[in-house]
Amino acid sequence: MTESVAAMRSLVVERVMPHPPEKIWRALTQAPLIEEWLMQNDFQPIVGHRFNFRAAPIHGWNGVTDCEVLEIIPCRRLVYSWNASGGRGLAAHPGKARGSGREILTTSLAFSASRFRRRASRLSAPAE
């Protein structure tokens, strides 16, 4: 990624999952399981692996998101870059054990600041 961290904006979502870390890790790192909750893909949990998420194209998006695995710490952290129709960012999925077999899953999505502003302005515009 060529854009500086200062030029990025982030969206962070934390969610308590009623599952052990190993089960959540499988859902994040096994291609058939990722497809069940997200999109078709050719993900492999190997640093440097380039992969795609694929879905039906829609206006403004060709249906393909190009990604690369940047960091993996099994059952603790997964980071990959993504690029979809000119939008670029990072996705990070760090987990924190919470006890009682529950896991806090934090998803951080970083976007280019200019694209973030354009998307946000579309979402906040009054309906026509």
Q: Is the pTM of this model over 0.85?
A: no
- Residue 9 has a pLDDT of 73
Query: Which of 110, 123, 60, 57 shows the shortest CA–CA distance to 82?
Result: 110
Scan for tokens 């934090």, then name that residue: 106
Range of the domain at 103: 5-124
13, 106 Cβ separation under 8 angstroms: yes
- Residue 1 has a pLDDT of 46
Please list the pLDDT of the chain residue by residue as tens digits (128 residues).
Answer: 445 555 667 778 888 888 888 888 899 999 999 999 999 999 999 999 999 999 999 988 899 999 999 999 988 889 898 888 777 777 878 777 666 666 667 777 777 655 555 555 554 455 55
Q: How far apart are CA 33 and CA 12, in angstroms?
A: 22
The total number of structural domains in the chain stands at 1
- Residue 123 has a pLDDT of 47
Q: How far apart are CA 15 and CA 94, in angstroms?
A: 11
CATH number at residue 103: 3.30.530.20
Residues with Cβ within 8 Å of 74's Cβ and at least 6 positions away in sequence, in order, are: 25, 45
